[in-house]
Structure formats: C-alpha cells, structure tokens
Amino acid sequence: MSEAWLNEIQQQFAAAGIETVDHHPARLLPARQLEIAPHAWAPATALCKQCAMRWAAFWVREAGAGIEAFSCLEKGGGYLILSTRLGEQQPLESIAHLYPAADRPQRHAHDLFGIAFEGQCDSRRWTRHQAWREDEFPLRGDGQAAEPPAPTPPDDSYPFIQASGSAVYEIAVGPVHAGIIEPGHFRFQAVGETVINLEKHLGYVHKGIEKLARGRDLDGLARLAGRVSGDSTVAHSWAACQAAERALAVEPPPRAQLLRAIMAERERVANHLGDIGAICNDVGFAFPHYQLSRLKERLVRDNALLFGHRLMMDRIVPGGVAIDIDSQGADHLFACTQELESEVAKLIEIIERSESLEDRLMTTGRLTPEWAAELGCLGYVGRASGCDFDVRRDAPYAPYHRVTVAVPGYRAGDVAARAKIRADEIGISLGLMRRFVELLEPGEHRLPMPRGRGGEGLGIVDGWRGEIISYLALDTDGRVERFFPRDPSWLNWPALEQLIQGNIVPDFPVCNKSINGSYAGQDL
C-alpha cells in the first residue's frame, strides 16, 4: 500500500478517534497492518468502505487465551490488514452490514473458533457438522474434536429462507448431483419458471484443512495447500509457498518464479477451455464442448510430459519448484502454445457466430457492476461486470513484474460476458507463457528453506478464478501454527444468488457453470 493511502486512512481514523498501532515494517508484507481496539472494528471498517476499499478476506487465530482477528482490504493494488485482539469470550461487531461478503467467513470463524459477532443478522451455522456439539469448536486449543457417533446424523435441518404465496413453490437441488461434481445444496423459490430466490448451503465435505495444517513442516504445508481445491492446485500451492517464503525472507530463484508462472497460466488455460465447453454444452451446443475438451486433454497430457503430473500437483514447493524443464521441453512448450492458440481462435469464432447460442447466453444471469462491486467479485466473474482487478497487473509479484499483463473487462455481466472473458484470457495466458519461456535463463530452480524459525507471511496470487490469499503463521520450530487459504469462491458464490433472480429455472445450470465456484475451496 502506498504511503499516501496509508496516511489518508490513518488521518481519517485519527479524526474519528480511532487509535492505531502501525506494524511497520509490516508483519504481513506486502500488506500494511494497522492494529485497532475491538470497539473500533466496525467504525474503522466503515471508514475503509467510505474510501472505496474492496473487502477481501477475514480470518482469526488464537493469541494466548484470546483471539486475534484479521480483515484484509484492497484498493488500487495496495493491501491493508486491520487486526484486533479479543479477550476470551469477547465478542466482535459484525461487518456484514458494510461488506455483505463477510457474512459467511464470519459464520465460518464462529463455527470453528467460537467467536461471537454482535449484530450478525444471520446466525445459522455455516461449517459446523452435526457431528460437533454446540459447545465444541474444533480449532480452539490443541484438543482434538471428539470422535463422532456412528453414524453422524444427517445435516438436513438447515433453516433455509422461506417464501410464501399461492403461486410460490420450492425446488431442492443437491447436495448430491447427477455428475461427479462435489456436493452443494441449492434451494429455489419460483413462480412458474421464474426464480424469485436462490439460497446455497455448502460445507458438506468439510475437509479440516485448517486443522490438518497444524504442526506440518513447509513441504507438508505445500502438499496440503495443493489439495484445497484440486482444479487450482498450482495457484493454492504458490500462495502457500509465497506466504512461507515471505515469513522466512526467502526469495526463490528467477528461473523458479518463471516456471511457477508458466504452470499457473497452464492451469488457467486448462480450466477455461473446460468451462467454455461446458457452458456451451449446458445449452445444447455439444460441438464446442467436444472440441475444447479435446484441447484441454492435450494440454494436461503435455503437463504430464513436461512437469510429471497432469494437474502439476506438488510441482510448486517452498523455495522454488520440484521439477525443471530442459531446452527441448521449453521448445515444445513454446510450439504447443502457438498451435493451441490457433485452434482455440477458430473454435471461438464458431461459437461467436452461433445465433442460437447468443440467444441463450446474452442477458442470461446478469450480475450488475454495482452488485459485483458490493460483493467484491473476482476473476472472470468480476471482470465481466466491470471489476477488472487482477493481482498480476495491479499488485504484481515475481515474475509478473517483468511483463505486461493485459486484463480484459466487460460490463454486460451476463453468461456471454463471463464466457468471453475466459476466451480472452486463454489468448493472453498463451502469450504470457511464450514470454516466460523466452525469459528463462540457466540457474537454480529451488533454494533450501531455513529451519527452526518462526514468523508470519501472506501469500497473494492470481489463480484462474481470481485472487487467492493465504495466511500463514509458523511457530518457533518452523512448523505451521495457523494456515488459512481464502479461495476466490468465498466471494464469487454469493454472486450466483443475485444473478439468478428473474431468470428461468432451466437456465440455472448455465448460470451456475458461468460462475463455477469451487465447493472444495469453501469446504475447508
């Protein structure tokens, strides 16, 4: 964050009587951290909102007998961390009335840590399973959660919002779906075929990521981070490793940074290819689905050839990368991006010339720029609705500071725009890959990490769904004390509930696919 922004915010805080402790040099680079008193939590956040700051993440950690809470905000590529310390059983004022997207992260923190939020309009549990007692908070202390009775009672009593009226009816979809996707429940209220309300309930496959991270070494952390959301294994691993490297003041070699970026862009392209095809398939246009799936398969086979794994899982490690490529591999990668770019361009031309596809996608599932900004939507969801933030361009990290990253943006906010963003990003990513190959120079691809040292770090990278934020605290032995990965889906899932209103029920699948939130990214 620029000194000018920090000074302006501190001046506004001072004028409002809010005292701050400026952690400088910051504990959590590249962000600046201001510590405030608990009673100032909501007023300080309100001032940030007045300054048009985007709310990005919320997490907590144990601090002695109490809790330390963190809220991450961003503007113009600068990050601000507001933090406060709470005594045992001390509540914190909710900020969900200021930033609606903070509602579910706050409920998540309550479910796992027991922290209470004053003024929280929605007190329904979000993450807690029926296997946990009401007075049991799995991330408090070092105790293990009690073994659940067998079998665990089904989580079938979630109090969904009700709608009444003689013409209103409900549709329940999930949590088990017809495909191989993960479980999530969608509850519709509709009149005729028109959706008047949609509410989601996630968390059915809570994995215990935050608990499993405790006590791990850094290599174990990287492996775990790569499994937060399997389709974002590169991006989540990179964010976690970046947090560890910042905590321990380690700068990976330039070659490793370039290889990381090549992998991240390949992950982006593979997922966008699959998504565009799936969007077309959801409205009965199977030809692009088949052809784009073919290209995605070719790409992931090349991943296995070049990096030893189709999804490049466990390829990014603390201090660098686990595998290097030789000059022959670099030449192959360069040539394949050119061939792929040509084939994708032809398919996108066919897609854009289809009048029936245009009729189904344009104006369908429109998310207004105002709602996208209010929710802090990220990646292709935000960029299709006027919010074109991209970490690679706006808060660049190595090696993106060495290149120009083009960021496409639209304001239509419909399914067609979200598909178009994906198509644009494929071409941009393929160009970036070629540029990174050109920048490759001989050198090391991994540095050793210091052992037996504590610290805190913040990893911020741009995954294919958008900004990923990972918080890491290491104990004095260099093992994980606290790990919190914030997937973009925390901010993008709420958009689905807004954009589906007024659409017809048969368009739900394509609206959902155009968002394509990660269930796993939410179900930590």
Q: Tell me: do 416 and 509 sit in the same domain.
A: no
d(C-alpha 368, C-alpha 374), whole Å: 10
pLDDT tens for each residue of 222-250:
999 999 999 999 999 999 999 999 999 99
Helices within 353-414 (DSSP H only): 355-361, 369-375, 379-383, 391-394
Last residue in a domain, options 396, 427, 448: 448
Instruction: Establish if 34 belongs to a structural domain.
Output: yes
d(C-alpha 326, C-alpha 330), whole Å: 6
Last residue in a domain, options 429, 448, 467: 448
Last residue in a domain, options 398, 429, 448: 448
Q: Strand, coil or helix: what is 66?
A: strand
Give pLDDT, residue 29: 84
Give pLDDT, residue 25: 65
| pLDDT greater than 90 at residue 196 | yes
pLDDT tens for each residue of 151-172:
777 777 888 988 888 899 999 9
Instruction: Establish if 326 belongs to a structural domain.
Output: yes
Lowest mean pLDDT among 118-122, 248-252, 290-294: 118-122
Lowest mean pLDDT among 2-6, 90-94, 374-378: 2-6
Please provide the DSSP assignment of 278-328 as one string: HHHHHTT-HHHHHHHHHHHHHHHHHHHHHHSSTT-TT-EETTEES----HH
| pLDDT greater than 60 at residue 43 | yes
| pLDDT greater than 70 at residue 147 | no
Q: Tell me: do 45 and 173 sit in the same domain.
A: no
| pLDDT greater than 60 at residue 145 | no
Q: With b meaning 16 or more CB within 10 Å and e meaning fewer, what string describes 321-345?
A: bbbbbeeebbebbeebbeebbeebe
**Domains identified in the chain, total number:** 3
Give pLDDT, residue 166: 85
- HSE toward the beta carbon, residue 383, CA cutoff 13 A: 23
Q: Tell me: do 428 and 299 sit in the same domain.
A: yes
Instruction: Establish if 268 belongs to a structural domain.
Output: yes
d(C-alpha 241, C-alpha 435), whole Å: 23
pLDDT, average across residues 392-398:
96
| pLDDT greater than 80 at residue 457 | yes
Instruction: Establish if 499 belongs to a structural domain.
Output: yes
Write the CATH number for 524. 3.30.390
Count other C-beta atoms under 10 Å from residue 388's C-beta: 16
Instruction: Establish if 483 belongs to a structural domain.
Output: no
Instruction: Establish if 226 belongs to a structural domain.
Output: no
Q: Tell me: do 271 and 409 sit in the same domain.
A: yes
Give pLDDT, residue 144: 55
pLDDT, average across residues 452-477:
96
Write the CATH number for 362. 1.10.645.10
Give the pLDDT band of residue 70 (cuts 50, 70, 90): very high
- Residue 180's domain comprises 165-205+488-524
Q: Tell me: do 65 and 14 sit in the same domain.
A: yes
Q: Tell me: do 258 and 330 sit in the same domain.
A: yes
Enclosing H/E stretch for 179: none
Q: Which two tokens stand for residue 358?
A: 């245009």
Instruction: Establish if 314 belongs to a structural domain.
Output: yes
Q: Tell me: do 66 and 193 sit in the same domain.
A: no
Q: With b meaning 16 or more CB within 10 Å and e meaning fewer, what string describes 401-427?
A: eebebebbbbebbbbbbbbbbbbbbbb
Q: Tell me: do 315 and 426 sit in the same domain.
A: yes
pLDDT tens for each residue of 467-479:
999 999 999 999 9
pLDDT tens for each residue of 199-219:
999 988 888 999 999 999 999
Q: Tell me: do 444 and 518 sit in the same domain.
A: no
pLDDT, average across residues 91-114:
95
Q: Tell me: do 284 and 378 sit in the same domain.
A: yes
Write the CATH number for 14. 3.30.460.80
Q: Tell me: do 294 and 413 sit in the same domain.
A: yes
Instruction: Establish if 272 belongs to a structural domain.
Output: yes
CB 523 within 8 A of CB 204: yes
Give the global pTM: 0.95
Give pLDDT, residue 2: 60
Q: Strand, coil or helix: what is 229?
A: coil
Q: Tell me: do 443 and 506 sit in the same domain.
A: no
Give pLDDT, residue 7: 79
Lowest mean pLDDT among 21-25, 263-267, 364-368, 395-399: 21-25
